[in-house]
Chain A
Amino acid sequence: MPSMTEAVPLPWVLTLAGALFCVGLFGALSRRNTVGILLGIELMLNAVNINLVAFWRYLEPNVVAGQTFALFIITVAAAEAAIGLAMIIAIYRARQTVNADEVDSLRG
C-alpha cells in the first residue's frame, strides 16, 4: 500500500503549511474589511492544522494526539468565527461600517 510518507518528504508539507500561514497573515494584516481579516485568520488556523496532521502522519501515526489537537483547533476556529461574525454584525448595526480602521473609538 503506497502512502504519502514515502512519496512526499515532510519538509514539503511543512513548507506548504508555512506558505499558507504567511498568506493568511498577509490577509489578516492588509485587509480593511473586518470580514477579510477573519478570512485571513481562518487561513492561518488551517495552516496550523496541516502542520499538526503532517506531524501525526509522519512521526507518530499510531498515536491520536495530532488528530485530536487538529480537531480542537477546528472547534476553536468555529467558535471564533461565530463570535467574530456576531461582533462584526453588531458593529455594523451600531456604526454602519465594517472597515477596521473606522472603528477607532479606543484610539488615544
Chain B
Amino acid sequence: MNTLITILFVVFAAFILASAIMTVTVKNIVHAALWLISSFFGVGALYLLMEAEFLGVAQVLIYVGAVSILILFAIMLTRDLEGSQNRQLTPRWWIALIVPAALFGLLIVPTVMTYAWQLPPPPAGQSPAISGAQQIGTAFMREYLLPFEVAAILLLVAMIGAIVIAFEERERRRRVLTLAEQVRLRRQQRQPAPLPEPAATAIQASEATGGES
C-alpha cells in the first residue's frame, strides 16, 4: 500500500509540474489558463492524498470553480486579435529563467534536503488524530476569529474594488430598446419638446473625453 501511495505521489507531482511548465511556456494564453486549471486539480488531488479533505475540496471549489473561470472571462474580455502571433515572452526572458533556476538549485534543494526535520515518531497502533473540517470550523470561530473577520472584510473590499475598477458606465453603453421602451419613447417624442436636460449634455461631455486616460 505504501508503494501505491508513493507511485500516486510521483504521478501527481509529475502532473502538477508538467501542467505548471506548460502554463508558463505555452503560447496561447487561453491554453495557459487551461493548463493552470489542470495544475490546480493536481494540487487538489495532492491535498486529498495528504488527508486534508476539506482543503482539497475547497481548492477545487475556489480555484477551479471560481478563480479560473474569472481568468477565462478576463481573457475573453481583453482578447487582442493580433496578440497570439506576437512573442509572449519579455526580451530578457533568459534572466527570468536563470533567477528561478538558481533559486531552486542553489537555495531550495540544498536547504530542504540537508535540514534535519523534527518529525514526530510514527504512532503505534491506531492512526493519529487528524484535524478535519470540524476542527477547522471550531478554530475559525475561536482562536482565529479576528483573522477570519479580516479575511471576510478583505473579500468584501476586493469585491467592491473589482466592481468599481471594472465598472463600465451605463451611459456609455448603447442599449437595444425593448418594444415597450420604443412605444414609450415614441409617445414621449410626440409630445411638445421637453426642456433641454442637463444630464444629456453631461453624457455628451463625458463621451467627448471618455476613452482617454
Interface residues of A (CB under 8 A from B): 1-8, 10-16, 18-27, 29-33, 35-36, 38-40, 42-43, 46, 49-50, 53-54, 56-65, 67-68, 70-72, 74-83, 85-90, 92-98, 101
Contact = CB atoms under 8 A, between A and B. Distances in A.
A1 B127 contact: yes
B173 to A, nearest CB: 12
A103 B109 CA distance: 36
Interface stretch (B45-53, B183-191, B195-203): B45-53
Given A11-B113, A49-B43, A59-B120, A75 B97 contact: no
B90 interface: yes
B162 A83 contact: yes
Interface in B103-139: 103-104, 108-109, 112-113, 117-120, 122, 127-131, 135-136, 139
Contact of B129 (A30, A61, A75): A61
Contact of B127 (A3, A20, A49): A3
B67 A42 contact: yes
Interface of B: 1-3, 5-6, 9, 13, 16-17, 20-21, 23-24, 29, 32-33, 36, 39-40, 43, 46-47, 49-52, 54-55, 58-59, 62-63, 66-67, 70-71, 73-75, 77-78, 80, 83, 86-90, 93, 95-97, 99-101, 103-104, 108-109, 112-113, 117-120, 122, 127-131, 135-136, 139-140, 144, 147, 151, 154-155, 157-159, 161-163, 165-166, 168, 211-213
Interface of A is mostly: helix
B159 A4 contact: no
A32 B24 CA distance: 11
